[in-house]
Copies of this chain bind each other. A is one copy, B any other.
Amino acid sequence: MGQVISLGAKTGSPANIDALLALTATDMAAVNTAILARAVSHVELIPELAQHLINSGGKRLRPMLTVASGRLCGYDGENHIKLAASVEFMHTATLLHDDVVDESHLRRGRVAARTLWGNEASVLVGDFLLGQAFKMMVEVGSLEALDVLSSAAAIIAEGEVMQLTTARQLATTEDDYLAVINAKTAALFSAAAEVGAIVADRPAGERAALRSYGRNLGLAFQLIDDALDYSGAEDELGKSVGDDFREGKITLPIVLAYRRGSEVDRKFWKRTLEKGDRGDKDLAHAIDLLNRHGALDATVERARHFGAIAVDALGIFPDGDYKPALSDAVNFAINRRG
């Protein structure tokens, strides 16, 4: 199960984020300290639940974008650390709320917080983290950064609502789906990168370039996630093949396979995803259909398009260590196997 998607970075850049990890190691350690310091509360449940998520081993790609963008813009202060921690808290809050909405039992291969502590606690601790995120932003004192991050928070919530209305709808178009992931995923990537330029007090053109870099990286990242859900290597990050299918999610591979398929195929998709009537052998058949219609390859192709836009967006910045590292991160996002 899980076919190997042939990717091969066209640019010849390495498909890893080693350079970015090395460049941001010191900053990210400081971000980690800030996160741990702010996930505390005298209400016992809060640190307990927050730690569960914080320790569950995400890549921290979003806060890494903030610190790397700040450094790319020549920033040498400390405010990017708090903004990066805010970005991660916003992301964590979204995950908590998402799991409640999606009724998920697993998150990154671990039992979801809501399964251990219940929906109410997950919703409220999410709100707490969002509050802490805004407190840190206020401490930084940049109204522009607050504007960008609070706008992103609103857009993310809008995206969730949008997704509720398109859920289980095979009529969802590719444009509709792109609008959802633009809000749900790309908005935070975009804001995370843009505030790096804001904290460094750089002109509008550089802000816009990083906003565009983040947005398009986010879109590429999410589309590859969607493809990997039907084809990725198991065990990395704890995600297993077929999670989206088991949750009845309409992602781009499904949108494409549905449109490219026969009437018989469409009946299969309607039964399994719209009606939620899924049996043991259905995942294998779904993967077979996705491959037969080139839906996974096409999803990767679409991701490449956004990746190319992200790389071009960086063009205006001076050469140095951060620019190629951020460019490699795009290739990594597209070429990863899990």
Contact = CB atoms under 8 A, between A and B. Distances in A.
Interface string A171-189: 1111110000000000000
Contacts of A18: none
Interface in A153-174: 169, 171-174
Contact of A175 (B204, B216, B259, B260): B216
A313 interface: yes
A308 B298 contact: yes
A85 interface: no
B208 A173 contact: yes
A276 interface: no
Nearest to A170: B205
| Oligomer: number of copies | 2
A285 interface: no
Contact of A259 (B173, B260, B313): B313
Given A298-B308, A305-B305, A208 B316 contact: no
A98 interface: no
Interface string A237-267: 0000000000000000001101111000000
A204 B171 CA distance: 8
A175 B308 CA distance: 12
For chain A, what secondary structure do more than half of its interface residues adopt (helix, strand, loop), or is it mixed?
A: helix
Interface in A282-325: 298, 301-302, 305, 308-309, 312-316
A175 B176 CA distance: 18
A181 to B, nearest CB: 14
A133 to B, nearest CB: 25
Interface in A202-221: 203-205, 208-209, 211-212, 215-216
Nearest to A314: B259
A11 to B, nearest CB: 12
Given A301-B308, A305-B305, A174 B259 contact: no
Contacts of A315: 256, 258-261
A309 B293 CA distance: 15
Given A209-B173, A212-B174, A212-B175, A259 B298 contact: no
Contact of A260 (B204, B298, B309, B312): B312
A260 B11 CA distance: 14
A216 B315 CA distance: 26
Contacts of A173: 208-209, 211-212, 313
A216 B261 CA distance: 21
22 contacts: A171-B204, A171-B316, A172-B208, A173-B208, A173-B212, A174-B309, A174-B313, A175-B212, A175-B215, A175-B309, A175-B313, A176-B208, A255-B312, A258-B315, A259-B316, A260-B312, A261-B315, A298-B312, A301-B305, A302-B308, A302-B309, A305-B305
